Structures are given as C-alpha cells and as structure tokens.
Structure 1
Amino acid sequence: MKNYVFSLAMATAVLGSTAAFADGEVNVYSFRQPELIQPLLDAFTAETGVKTNVLFLDKGLVERIEAEGTNSPADVILTIDIARLTQAKDGGVTQAVENETINSQIPAQYRDPEGNWFALTTRGRVVYASKERVAEDTITYEELADPKWKGRICMRDAQHDYNVALFASMIAHHGAEYTETWLTGLKNNLIGKPAGNDRAQAKAIHAGECDLGLANTYYLGLMINNDKEPEEKDWAASVKVLFPNAGDRGTHVNISGMAMAKNAPNRDNAIKLMEFLASDQAQQLYAERVYEYPVGPNTKPSETVAGFGAIKPDMLPLAEVAASRKAASELVDKVGVNNGPSE
C-alpha cells in the first residue's frame, strides 16, 4: 500500500531533518480522518508516483509542529474550519505559497490574502427544519431571534468553532451591538441548554423536541448515506434544509483547507500535492467523499448534496470572519448562550 498512516512513534522517529526528507515522498499532518482523505492521496500517488505519509491528529496539531521546530517532518497541513487554519498561521507553523495553479482554482475569498492557507471545500451553516412542523421554505439568520421561534430551536455548544464562526460573520455584517441583541434573542428561542453535535440536532427534530436546528450541510449527507446506523437515515428524512439569507447576502460557509508547513522538508512534493488537491479531479473526489461543496470553478457537489437545493454562499472573505472570532466568543459568554433561555 503506497499510502499509509504514521503511528506517533514513527512520526517521532523521523523528526531529524535528514530523516524527514525522502525523495519521492510527502508528509501530511491531518486533522481530517484518514479514511476521508485516503482516496485523494491514493489518486495523487497514482498520478505522480509520490508516496504520502499521513499523521492523523485530532487535537494538538499546531502545538506538535511547534514542538518539532525546524526538524518537523510536516510538509502539508490538512484541517477543517477557518479557526484551525488561522490558528496554524498565527502559531507560525505555516509558510506563504504563491502559486498561480492553486490560485486559479481557489477563489480569493477562500484563501488567505498572504497565501498561508487555502480552502478545498465549503460547508454551509444551515438550518435543519422539520418537514412536518415547519411550513417555511426560506429563513434568515436574523429571523432566528424572532419570538415566533420561542422554544423551537436547538443547537450544539455555542462556543463550538462552527457556531463561533457563524456568530463572527454576524459581527462582520452587522457589528457587535446588533449581534449581542441577536444572540440574546436566539438564546431565548432555544429549547434548553445547547447540547450534542450537529447530528443530534436532526435527531432532536425527528423526536419532536425542536423544530429548527443549526447544523452543517455535510452532516446530513453523512446521515443519509449511513448504512451502518440506519436510524440516522430516519433522522435525516425528517428534516429539510433551509439556506439562510438565500435572498440577500447568502448563507454562511466554513471550509476544509490546506497549508504548507513552515519547515517543509519536501517542499517541491508538497507543492505538487497542494496543486493536485486544488485540481478539478481532487475537488470532485473530495466532494463525493465528504458531502461538502467543492470550491473549484469547474466542479459540482455530489448528487446527495445537490438534492438539498442550491446554495448561495456568503461572499464575505473568511479572513474577515476569522478576525471577528474572538469578539464572537466573548459575546457568547456575555450573553450566556450556553445557559439556555432566560425568559
């Protein structure tokens, strides 16, 4: 098998810069599960002959690269959410890449202005709505604070990266004062304290506990196609997707993305991999595998995702969203969203 997953012991063993460099190889540090990215890496190896070595880290990715310093074997970083990509940049573990092949495939709003990270796919932060109990087929984020939804909304931890990014986009569009008032209204429309993950919101709607839930689009795709846990198919079948603000600025999207590690020992091969991941071929493979929206101009979402309806993404540059994350997190605590409704 040309592509394999590093064990932590193996990764530690190759920290020396000499050992980290290997002609015809590239080292990937990934926050994404290996099974999600393996088809892309297999296709890359088949096309280029370059072997990929993958270290999967579900936490502490930036801290690990920092600790490894100049001897880090990391060449390419794959992760999700604008928060983690900006954390990598701000943590000083990335380097700028100026590459016309990549830039031509990744729209400007989905890449760092300085070239330190690039989006590969997007996911909409949408509203799951009960097919039985919600007549509306359109909604805005602003409307989630409308008292008509009192006791009808569920969501996961308000401090989760996915929600903080959405709240940051509200600050970028409306300012902190408006967003504080809006968050208070949203909080008071919740069924209780935020809980569970995005799948749990569909489960709660299916059970009749709430009528609306904030969640990412790709979770619905995963549930629809989950043959191992058929109850999730029932959850998915009970909801429809509402794309907030489709009639004006568009739906907030977040990303999965890539970055070049600061001390990449196999830089040329890393560039080859990044160019491949930005290509139409890889974009389509990725979209089919993870039920996210490809960002490439010549690729389309999977049949499952297309079935949700058309998405009009908010064109706000994600760098602006990232800049408002700290303020958004502070507002979550100030309003006490995680305490649930107070009225």
Structure 2
Amino acid sequence: MSLRLALLAGLAATPALADVNIYTTRQPELIQPVIDAFTEETGIAVNLAFVQDGLVERLEAEGARSPADLVMTVDIANLKQIVDAGVLQPVESDILHDAVPAELRSPDDLWFALTTRARIVYASKERVADGEVTTYEDLASDTWEGRICTRSGTHDYNLALLAAVIEHHGEDYARDWAAGVKDNLARSPQGNDRAQVRAIWAGECDISLGNTYYMGLMVNDPEQQEWADSVRIVFPEFEEGGTHVNVSGIGMTAAAPNKEEAQQLMEFLVSPEAQEIYADVNNEYPVLDGAPLSDLVASWGEFTADTVDLASLADYRGAALRIMEEVGFDS
C-alpha cells in the first residue's frame, strides 16, 4: 500500500470527535468559560442547553432518545431527584475518584461534585460582635430572639442544613432546633439570600442564613454593594463537626450518545485548570484539594467543612421538610 493510501485509510478509521451535549440548570454564562477552555484543549465542541424547570421530566420523556450526555445542577436534593429518576449511569474513573472526596460524590458513581458552597451566617458589622456566632446549634438559643432573617424554611438550601442537623443530632433535636430558630426570627421567612442581607443593612435583623457565593454577587453589583459592606461572613460549625456545605454537581445520562467525550469533559472539570476557572466564575470553592481560590473567596476566611456524606443528607430531605411543616416555620 502506498504511503498516501495508508494515510487515507488511517483517517477513515479515526472517528470524528463528537459534540458533548449538556442539560444544565445553571445559567450558561456561569459555565461557558470552563467549557471554552475544554474545547480549546481538546477540540471537542460542547452544547449547553439551559433547562430552568422540569429537567427530570424532560429526561424521562426523551428516554433512550435523549441527546443529553451530561446534566449539571446545584444542591444535593436536585442531584438525588435525578438519581432517583433512574436517568443517570455510573462513571468509573480513577481521575474523578482521586479528585473528588468520597463525601462529595455518589457512592455508586452516579454524580460528582464540581464545586462547594458553605451555608453560613451573614452578621451585621455594627450589631454583632466577633465571636458571637459560633455554632449552628446556638442559632436556636434565646441570644438571637428577634434577630434572625432567612428565606423559606422549605427552600432546598435550608432543608439541606436541617438535614445536616438531623444527621448530627437526630430528628427530635432537629425539630426543637427548627422551632427555636423560628422563634428567633425577626420577620416571616421571605425573599432570597440577598434579601436577608438587605434586611440586615436596613436594621430589620442582625444575622441571616445564606450561601457564601451571594457575597460575590452582591459586591459586584453597584446597587447591592452597600448591603454587602454592612455584613461579614461567619462560618458556624456543628458542635461535633464542621461548616455545612452543599455542591454543584455533574452526572452522565443513561442515554448518553457520546460517552467517551462526556467522560473526558467530566475529568477535565476536576483538573486544576478547570477547577480554578469554574470556582472563580461562580464565587465557589473547588473540590480539588490544592486548587487555588479566587482572591475574593479567599478574603472571606478559612473554614473546616463538615465531612458528613452528602448522599446521606439527601436521604433526610423528606424528614427535614416534614419538620419544617410541623413547626410551621414559614407561618
């Protein structure tokens, strides 16, 4: 065979790189920078489809014909819902196992965390002394009567925190804790996490529950920067644990038409380069040990993350919701 024919035969035997299709509940602009880095490195094109609502229902309806290779979402409750629907497949990868701690991935390899965010306390710089907030347990004490603001108790973020209380102390304690926090509210639960910081700025309350990345959103918004300047981030811990964290995560669909390329993208997303980009854009924390924090996130201080298994917290979501409804947290 001539050299020219051999080259042509080799080209014919090499399959073209396939696109990777992602369904994401995160705004595409929060993902695009790291996707662009992947495409530049590998030549593999990635299609992002923003699915704000009904992600599970869409995957179930599409079934084996779904074009989606990967799903990306936030919060352990959302990941569990996708797992329970049976629309994911396990991914066996030493790269993913080495990069993502065991408590931040599914025990059956159905999902892997990409970043974490802490559920912290925003505290008034004027009315809350340093060291006054130390534990989640203390939020139910009389110290905070009439001083706490929060969003709905049935929101996924607060249900995940209450699930962590159940994990550490059991359901009876968690019920008393939720009732105690309710008694300490300065107003009925309302708005999002940033609305609570605005309430602190306005003097309606002294502390609030929130996710860390909202500080990044506020300081970069001229209309909200004053709210951010009125508070500081405090990292409470459980009495026998650390600071509660939640995740953004990724999983491969059961129908994935481009499995090899999809796994390649998953493994890229936990590389040092991608972890730095993705965490920076989202004002979150990398899951890869040693990946650098953005200057802004680093300025919030250090904390010790709770090491409870997030998959087990997802199992407590139903109990957490029942407790919030029993104590009438939002009423």
Shared fold per TM-score greater than 0.5: yes
Note the C-alpha offset of 1:23.
4.1
Q: Does 1:335 align with 2:327?
A: yes
For the residues of structure 2 that align with 1:246 and 1:239, how far apart are their CA atoms?
A: 22
Residues 245-284 of structure 1: pairs in structure 2 closer than 5 A: 245=237, 248-284=240-276
| Aligned: 1:297 with 2:289 | yes
The CA deviation at 1:81 is 0.3
- How far apart, CA to CA, are the structure 2 residues paired with 1:71 and 1:231? 45
Question: What is the SS of the residue equivalent to 1:231?
Answer: coil
Candidates 82, 101, 104, aligned match of 1:107: 101
Unaligned runs of 5+ in 1: 1-20
How far 1:62 sits from its partner (Å)? 1.0
Q: CA deviation at 1:247?
A: 7.2
**Quick check: 1:22–1:266 contact (8 Å CA) kept in 2?**
no
| Consecutive unaligned residues in structure 2, runs of 5 or more | 1-14
Distance 1:265 1:234 in 2: 48
**CA deviation after TM superposition for structure 1 residue 246, in Å:** 7.3
Q: Tell whether the 8 Å contact from 1:24 to 1:49 is kept in structure 2 after alignment.
A: no
Q: In the aligned structure 1, how far is the partner of 2:238 from the partner of 2:283?
A: 20
Q: CA deviation at 1:249?
A: 1.0
Alignment of 1:228-243 (within 5 A): 230-243=222-235
**What letter corresponds to residue 266 of structure 2 in structure 1?**
M
Give the drift of 1:298.
2.3
Root mean square deviation of aligned Cα: 1.3
Helix, strand or coil at the partner of 1:172:
helix
Whether 1:313 and 2:296 are equivalent positions in the alignment is no
What is the deviation of 1:148? Answer: 1.6
3-state DSSP class of the match of 2:250? strand
User: How much has 1:290 moved relative to structure 2?
Assistant: 0.5
**Of the two, which has the highest radius of gyration?**
2
Q: Which amino acid aligns with 1:92?
A: G
Percent identical among aligned pairs is: 52
Residue by residue over 1:79-98, the C-alpha shift from the partner in whole angstroms, topping out at 9 and shown as x without a partner, is 00001111111011111111
* Aligned-partner residue type, residue 276 of structure 1: F
Q: 1:248 deviation in Å?
A: 4.6
Q: Secondary structure at the match of 2:113?
A: strand
Is 1:26 aligned to residue 20 of structure 2? Answer: yes
Distance 1:58 1:251 in 2: 29
Q: Identify the residue that residue 70 of structure 1 maps to in structure 2.
A: 64
Judging changes above 3 Å, is the alpha-carbon distance between structure 1 residues 247 and 184 closer, same or farther for their aligned structure 2 residues? closer
In the alignment, what sits opposite 1:10? none
Give the Cα–Cα distance (whole angstroms) in 2 for the partners of residues 291 and 247 of structure 1: 27
Could you say if the C-alpha distance between residues 143 and 25 of structure 1 is closer, same or farther in structure 2, counting changes exceeding 3 Å? same
**TM-aligned CA distance change 1:22 to 1:184, over 3 Å:** farther
1:284–1:294 contact (8 Å) kept in structure 2: yes
Name the aligned partner's letter for residue 315 of structure 2: A
User: Is the partner of 1:264 in helix, strand or coil?
Assistant: coil
Aligned to 2:92: 98
CA distances 1:301-339 after superposition (whole Å, capped 9, x unpaired) = 211111111021000010111111110000000000001
CA distance, structure 2, for counterparts of residue 305 and residue 156 of structure 1: 23
Q: 1:22 to 1:161 in 2, by over 3 A?
A: farther
Contact kept, 8 Å, 2:137 with 2:239, in 1: the verdict is no
Q: Which residue of 2 aligns with 1:186?
A: 181
Deviation of the 1:136 alpha carbon: 3.4
Contact 1:246–1:312, Cα closer than 8 Å, also in 2: no
